[in-house]
Every structure is written in structure tokens, then in C-alpha cells.
A and B are shown apart, each in its own frame.
Chain A
Amino acid sequence: MSRRRVVNGKNTRGGLKRFTISMQNKLVVLFGIVLLAFVGLGVQLFRINRDNGQTYSMQVLSQQAYENQTIPFKRGKILDSKGTVLADSQLVYNVIVDSKQILQKDVYLEPTLDALESLGVNRNRIKEYITNHASSQYYIALKNLSYQDRKAYLEKVAAGIAQEKEKKIPAAQRKYDNIKGIWFESGYQRFYPHGDLACDVLGFSGSGNVGTGGLEEYYNDTLNGVVGRKYGYLDEGLNMEQTMIEAKDGNNLVLTLDANIQSIVQKCLTRFNDAFQNQYREGLGANNAACIVMDCNNGEVLAMAGTPFFDLNHPSDLAALWGMPKLDENDEPQDGYLTYTDLLTMTEEDKPRYLNALWRNFCISDYYEPGSTAKPFTVAMGLDTGTVSDSDEYYCGGYKMIDGFKIKCHTRDGDGWLTTGEAVEYSCNVALMEMVEKIGKENFTKFQNVYNFGLKTGIDLADEARTDQFVSDATMTDSMLATNSFGQNFDVTMIQMISGFCSLINGGNYYEPHIVKKVTSASGTTLRTIEPRVLKKTVSESTSAHIRDYTVMVVEGHDGTGITARPAGYRIGGKTGTAETLPRGNDEYVVSFIGYAPAENPQVVCYVVVDRANIEEQDNPMYATGIFRNVMEEVLPYLGIYMTEPVTEKESERLASKGLAITYTGDESSDKWEWADDDEEMY
């Protein structure tokens, strides 16, 4: 390039040609200004470090997510004695939305909303949340997404992205690739495959793995595992270190309860309830209709249920409360029953009270006067103490005067002369009062304790009640003793009654009732087996034999009170019970039947209680015996116990209608039981 020097920096056209000294000087000034600005900024950097260095360093560390994440454990299963799963936990996912990530680019929002909608999230609501909480990075948009749904979603998105890449769709128009800020957090959800089956026994477990009621509460710690943890920390070099401790899953429970027997029981109770529902008044078939089936030779509970049932998967569904008695301020039943209007207008304070009543296990938490089902117990203590003998005879004239009170028998004219066995068969109050006079207060109170009445049986379920209102022999009045002899003026729970009754007929062994047979680990190894436990000897074998005879007479004797309880084709023993509830005079009764089969070699005991049936005249034990018969007619063949008795025509019709086979192999033309056929409708 040629060099041109132009004097004075001017060329002939009037433009500048030369970068003059003054301009050079000004450039130096400009450089100086720039330098000054740099110095200023350098000072600013220094100032930030000097004044805020420490706080900012701490801020940086405190902002670091140390990712202290818990890994959920799986709560143990509950299985019945045959291995049927009654309660399980399944892997589910919470859908977490990260607004910040979604809002990073405009093209993310719509595809992400589409994706969330396909997962079942309300589009408008989540859109509103994302736009209003732009910096939120953790929001649970959806809970309990199933494993399958999540898998299907992930596969769909992966396939979509692959297709978009293949078709070379521009980044901004990609539907799947622009889904951002959605992630899944795993957890477990409790579920009950059989809905309301054994609802009172199982209880339920909601969020946080806390059991409410039943086994879920009683065995909460056994069922729960230990959460795992994933956490990071900064080492000396300020590097993030990651550590993970795996979660330990909870243990499983294997029950003595048999789901088949349980469903037979619940079916029979439901049939009763359906038949009596709205009969006398609007409401359920009875305040409570409950049934326990137990193996009398080891205390294993085979079934336990009480109406009304509720779906364990939706325990707080108020619809299940319909027809239940209204509660007073002490949560005791009062006049009136819940209507649908009541359910709709129920206050928030009332809801937990009624739900607790619904979830309550009547069989172990509620108590009542047992009535005549207590008579075998009284007779047994007489026989065992030698104060009463099998050959005694008692005269019933219809009533007995005690402490100036006229205590009546069930018939005005009286039962006449009765043997000890007949006293049980006829359910004679006067004969029992005569007996208990001989037994005496001391023996009586001692034996009530031996029978464990009023005390907890120790069954492995939450919320077992103890009534424990005993008076000692010193303070007991004569009328108290007299009425106690036939099951009035003292309270029991169903589990107390059935556990004691088992011992009366099995030779006197009082087994601790239990419902869990075995605890297994998550991998299935047995950790603990719960063996039958004899707590005490209540009565002698010979006393037990007498009680078996007497209770068979109740069902077989021509004047027996429990004829209607007999399942077709079987010989059984049992005892009815009727007790007026407090306050007396309301014509409200608890009727019950406790029985066992087979008569010669008792294996299974079934106890049915109907608390205030929905009918005008409640004092008919038939409501309970009907349920008992229906249960036993199905349970006995299921347990492999064959019929020993001929079946009448009517009975065979009934069995055929239920789809039950006749397993009797003897003389088929026998009319041995024709007399027992009655025309009364049974439920």
C-alpha cells in the first residue's frame, strides 16, 4: 500500500486524511477513561468479596440441595390362612411438576400440559398453578398414579420422541420432546383387594403408613419397614458425595382367619340386614349384627364381622353410615337413625364421631348383657364346684322372690320340675337362680374371673374393651347374684363370651383368642409362629361333657329354645340369649346364639349377636339362630365336616337353593328331624 502524507491532515476533497496528534491524544484520554472504568469495576469486585464474601459463600452452600431423599418402604401384606391377600401395598407414583423448568421456554408449556392431561391432571387447574408459581420446582400434581399407567406414559413419550427425531420435526414443533418438568416420585399405596371383607378385623392404613383399627393398628410396627435414605454431603474438598441406604420392607401377617369363612359370614349378615332393613323404621337391619367363628381347640379366629361393613379402600365414604343409630354427646346410640339428608348435612365435628362408630369392631370393642347364653357358664361353675349336680331337680313356678323383688321366668306359668340339663334346655331363669344360691357369691365371683368376663382376652386386635365392673362377693347383693346367673346386670364382649364358651365345651382349656398365625418377612421366610396358648383351665373335662350334653339338648330337645339354629344334616350344641338393653322397658333387645359343631367332637364355635333388630318385637332369638344356621350350613361342609343326620325334604330344598350338597350317607328315608321343621321364615 502506498504511503500518502497530507499536510495538515487535509486532502483536496475536504475530508480528513490524517489521524492527528490531537486525535491521538484524545484516544489516549479515551483509553484512560476505559482504564478508569476497569479500575472502578475491579474495586467493585474487591468490595463484593470483602464486604459480603463470607455471607455469599454461606449462601452458595446453603442453596445446594443436599438431596436428602427418603426411599419409601413397602408395608407388609396381610394374608389369610390359605394365602389369600387381604391387604397389600402397591407401587404408585406421585406426579411432580417443576414450573420453573416448564416455563424456561414457551414451546414447553403446551406439550407438557397435554402430557399432564393425559396422566389425568386437570389441565386448567395445573396451568393456573404453573403460571402463578413460576419458580416452584416441586408440586404434587397427581397422587397415586399406578405403575402400569406410568409405564404406559413413559413408553408413549419415548416412542414419540424417537419418532420426532426420525421425522426430523423442528424442535419448536415437537410434541413429546418438549415435555419438560414432569417427574415421578415413587411411593406405596395400601389397597384391599376384597373391599369390605374383614373390614373391622383388618382396619386400614392411609398415608404415612399409620394403621387405624384392627390388625393394621395392632401390628403397625410389624407391618412397617424402615425407610431408606439417599443423601448427599459435601466433603472437605467441597465435592458432593452421594450415599444410599436401601429401604427395608415391612413384614407380612398370615392370619388364622379364612377369607372363605369370612365371606360366608359377611354374606349371611348382609342377607339378614337386607331382610330387616327398613322393616320397622328407616335404617339398618339391626344396630349391630355380628358373628365370630372360632376353632374351639386352639383359639384361632376363623371369621369375625359386624354390620355395617365399609370399604377399606374408601373408609371415609359417608354413604356407609346410612341407617346407623344417631349418637348422643357421649357417642352412645340414641333415638333416630341417620338418613341420607343427615349424611349430606353432617358437620365436620360429627363426621369423625360417626366414622369411628362405623370402624369400630363390635365383636371386641362393644359390650352388652349376654342374657341366657351365660347360663351354661353358671351351670358349669355349679358342676365344677360340686354345688350343683347333674341329677338335681328344680321347680319353677314362674318367678322367684329375691330381696323382695319378684324375678320372673320367661313364661308366666313356670316350667315346672326341671333337671339341671332341662334348666339349660328350657332356659329357665328360676332354676338358674336356685342353682346360683347353692353356688354362692364367692364361687360365682371367682368363676366369673376364671371365665375372664370383663377382662381383656388379649386378642391381637386394636381397641379391645374391658368391662371390668365386677363387684366382689362381699358387696354383691342377692338380687345381683340372682340376675347375674342368667346373664343380666353384667357386661361382656363377644370375644369374651366365645373364648369362655370354647373352654366350656373343649374340656376346660381356655385358649387365648388370636388372629395372627405367623409373621413372615418381605421375602417370605417365617419369622415368628404364634402357637395356640392355653391360658388357664376353667372347668374339668367331666363338667365340660355335661355342658356339651345340655347344650345339645337346647337344639335337639323337643322343647329346646335353639331348635331353629340347627343346620341341616348336623348335630350341634348351643345356647340362645335374649337380654333387654338399658334402660329397661324400651322393648329393645340384644338376641344371640352361641353354638358349636359337631356335637360329639366340637371343632368350630360360632357366636351370633343381633343388637336391636329392626322389627317391632325384638326379643326373638330366632334372628340370631337364623344367621347361625345359615353360616354353619356353609362353613361346616367347607371345613370338611360331613353330615351325620338325615335331611328332611324341606331342608334338602333349602340346601339345593343354596347350592349345597347333602353329604349324609346313612339311611335317607329317616324322618328323625321332621318334627323340627317349622314354617317360620328364617333369614
Chain B
Amino acid sequence: MDYSLLFIVLFLLSFGLVMLYSTSSYEAALEYGDSAYYLKRQLIFTIFGLVLMTGVSFIPYTFWKKVSVLAYMVSVALIVLVIPFGMEVNGAKRWIRIPGLPMQLQPAEVAKIGVIIFSAMIIERLGRRSLATLKGFIFPMIPAVIVAVMIWQITDNLSSAIIVVAIVFGMLFVACPDYGKFIGIVAVVFLLGAAVVWYTVNSADTNSLDFRGERILAWLDPQAYAGGKGYQTIQALYAIGSGGIFGKGLGQSMQKLGFIPEAQNDMIFSIICEELGLFGAISIMLMFVLLIWRFMMIANSADDFYGAMLVVGVISHIAVQVILNIAVVTNTIPNTGVTLPFISYGGSSVFFLLSEIGIVLSVARGMRRDELAQME
């Protein structure tokens, strides 16, 4: 067992629970009459998640290679199931009710892990020579893009779709020997993004824009949209700005008192900034850096390519999600709903993240003893 990784994960989870309680207690007391409502639910998910993680860590990761096609099929099937069995929360249909249990499943979270398992297998099968070509890049991308488009269109969840594509993109970046096409693709994406922003800003009739268009406008000038789409962003900025270097102290946030709605979800990082200041925020970011560094070590010493690819997928997943989350909170990019791994409230998210950690642990289990010794 890789205890360093385990320690970092447990630290992030515990810290997450403390922050979750601090952030959600006010709203929970108002809505449910129980200030620990969200904490209790998240604690149950976390405990189940840890059990699952331990179980998964004992399964040899080569097992996932055998079931990778099945995993992909299940991911796709679950997304399709949203159409008839989907549950609408806050106007978005992203969840499937689990019969007999007081909880829901978010298929997008399953899809992320499914895509990691499946793509690692595809990339391994392609072989070195194919990976050097453009075809070798496009071929593994196709199933990922299919899933991403389904997530986007069926569950109306663009951010999860972007994350799915980014995961495979990251895995391919590591697997492919060259840099050129990656730089090219990133450049194209940037240009496209700039074009969309340019189009939105110069659009004569702002009424014809959909909510994403408005989000772009709110991103550029959150003050002007403070009453609408920019509200959450500007309130998060207030929280960050009022935190200072060491923050107001744990539990002392004012912005969580109804100003940042559902702060325990996507905006929890702003409350961390407010309560613990720059110091606390950067400490948490360092914790994530440490986590990813540890992942990198595990990947580099993995027993085989498949195991390493799994870990790279997990790295991409967590890194992209952390970066997007903090970027949204600091208004570096337009507002899109991405949770902060291990810390934000969300059952599916913590459940499947811990499964991913379980896979990484099983990869670490197979690490060569000499390299392990070298690392300690």
C-alpha cells in the first residue's frame, strides 16, 4: 500500500469535510433544520468510498483491462438511462435515481473512470508506431468524444464533457512521442475560444444568446451582471478578496450566509480563501500538487504501460478538475460547474474519485520494489 498517497488523500478528505461543514451548516440549518445535514451525507459517501477504494486497491489492475470494453459500454448505457430515468435537480437532468437508496448517481462521473480504463487499453493496443501518427491520436479520441458529446447533449453538462476529452488528451500527450500536434490542437482551441468570446461580445442582440453566451459576458464584466449571471462569480470574488493573507478564521465566513448559494458545491474554494486566506488556499493547492506528484511517481514506476496509463488518466482527471474549479472561482475562465475533487459536496464525485484512487493504489502495489526503495 502506498501510504504517502493514502495520507494525502485522507488529509484532503478530512479537510474537505471540515470545510464542507463550515460552508454548508448555515444553509443546511435553514433548509433542513439540521446544520450537519450535508456533512452527514458526505461522511456516509466518504466512508463507503473509502471501503470501495480499499476493495479496488486489492483487485489487480490488469482486471480493468479485461473489462475495459464492458466499462465503456456501461458508461454509455448509464448516460442513455438518464433519458427515461433521469432526475431533475436545479433545472438540469444529470442524475439517475438508485432504486431503494436515498441517493442518486451521476453518470458523467462513471463515464470519467470508464473512459480512463477504456482509453488506456486502446492506447496500449495501438502500439508505439501508430501513436506517432495523427491517426494514432484520433483513433483513441473517437470513443472519448462520443461519450463527451453524449454527456453534453443528454445531461446538458458541458464541463464534464470537456473533462472527459481532457482526460484522454492528457493520456495521449504522455503516450505519443511528439509535441507538435498537441501544441497545434491547444493553439486551435485557444483561437476557437477567442473567436467565440469575440463573437459574443460583438453580438448585437444579447437576447439571442443562450445562457452560456451570457456567462461569457458575465465573465468579462462580472460587476455589470452582478444581479444575474455574474452574481455567483462576483460574490466568490468578494469572498476571496475579503480573506486576506490568513483569512477570517475557520467558520467565520460571511459570504456563506446566503450570499454564495450552495457554496458547498462548486464555490467551496472561495469560502476556503475567505476563512483561511491566501495561506490556506495555497496550502490546499500544494496538497493537490503533492498528490499529482505522487501519482507521477507511481506512473513512472508502474509495472507496465497499462498501469501507467491508468494513473496518467487519473492525473489528468484530477488536475483538470482542480484547475478548472479554481479558475472559475477566481473568474479566470467563464463560470462552468466543476467541483473541487475531495472537497466539494457530491456523493457520486467522491465515490468515483476514491475508486480511481483505489486503481492507482493497485498500480502502486505492483511497483518494483527497488524503485519504491529509491523513492522513499
Contact = CB atoms under 8 A, between A and B. Distances in A.
Nearest to B368: A3
Contacts of A53: 241-242, 244
B278 A41 contact: no
Given A16-B123, A41-B285, A34 B323 contact: yes
Given A26-B173, A37-B319, A49-B244, 20 more contacts: A1-B366, A9-B128, A15-B124, A16-B126, A16-B127, A17-B124, A18-B304, A19-B304, A27-B315, A30-B312, A35-B289, A38-B322, A41-B332, A44-B327, A52-B241, A56-B238, A56-B242, A59-B242, A60-B242, A135-B228
Given A45-B278, A52-B237, A27 B242 contact: no
Closest 9 CB pairs of A and B: A56-B241, A19-B308, A57-B242, A16-B305, A60-B242, A34-B319, A56-B238, A44-B330, A24-B300
B341 to A, nearest CB: 13
Contacts of B127: 10, 14-16
Given A16-B128, A27-B174, A53-B242, A41 B326 contact: yes
A105 interface: yes
Contacts of A159: none
Contact of A17 (B88, B255, B305, B323): B305
For the complex, would chain B's binding face be called helix, strand, loop or mixed by DSSP majority?
helix
Interface in B332-376: 332, 365-366, 368
A285 B126 CA distance: 109
A48 interface: yes
B340 to A, nearest CB: 12
A27 B289 contact: no
A238 interface: yes
A60 B366 contact: no
Interface stretch (B17-25, B150-158, B291-299): B291-299
A64 B254 contact: yes
B181 interface: no
A48 B241 contact: yes
9 contacts: A14-B127, A17-B304, A26-B176, A30-B315, A31-B292, A37-B319, A49-B245, A56-B240, A64-B254
A28 interface: yes
Given A27-B174, A30-B173, A45-B281, A57 B241 contact: yes
A329 interface: no
For the complex, would chain A's binding face be called helix, strand, loop or mixed by DSSP majority?
helix
A285 B4 CA distance: 102
Contacts of B237: 48, 52, 56
Contacts of B123: 16
A23 interface: yes
Interface residues of B, number: 68
B330 A106 contact: no
A45 B177 CA distance: 35
Nearest to A37: B323
B287 to A, nearest CB: 11
Contacts of A18: 304-305
Contacts of A30: 170, 173-174, 312, 315-316
B172 to A, nearest CB: 10
B263 interface: no
Interface in A564-622: none
Interface in A59-100: 59-61, 63-64
B99 interface: no
Nearest to B327: A41
B207 interface: no
B91 to A, nearest CB: 7
Nearest to B257: A64
Contacts of A341: none
A124 interface: no
B273 interface: yes
B128 A10 contact: yes
B243 interface: yes
A4 B241 contact: no
B128 to A, nearest CB: 6
Interface string B236-256: 011111111100100010110
Contacts of A19: 299-300, 302, 304-305, 307-309
A3 B288 CA distance: 31
Contact of A106 (B88, B174, B257, B323): B88
Most buried by A among B175, B231, B241, B330: B241
B308 to A, nearest CB: 4
A42 interface: yes
A22 interface: yes
B208 interface: no
A638 interface: no
A37 B366 CA distance: 31
B238 A1 contact: no
A138 interface: no
Nearest to A38: B285
Contact of A60 (B239, B296, B299): B239
A46 interface: yes
Contact of A9 (B252, B305, B307, B368): B305
Contacts of B143: none
Nearest to B125: A15
A113 B350 CA distance: 38
B303 interface: yes
A485 to B, nearest CB: 78
Contacts of B304: 4, 17-19
B259 A63 contact: yes
B87 to A, nearest CB: 9
Given A37-B323, A49-B278, A42 B240 contact: no
A55 interface: yes
A50 B60 CA distance: 50
B267 to A, nearest CB: 14
B296 A46 contact: no
B293 A31 contact: yes
B174 to A, nearest CB: 5
Contacts of B308: 19, 23
B125 A3 contact: no
Contacts of B173: 26, 30
B303 A1 contact: yes
A23 B128 CA distance: 11
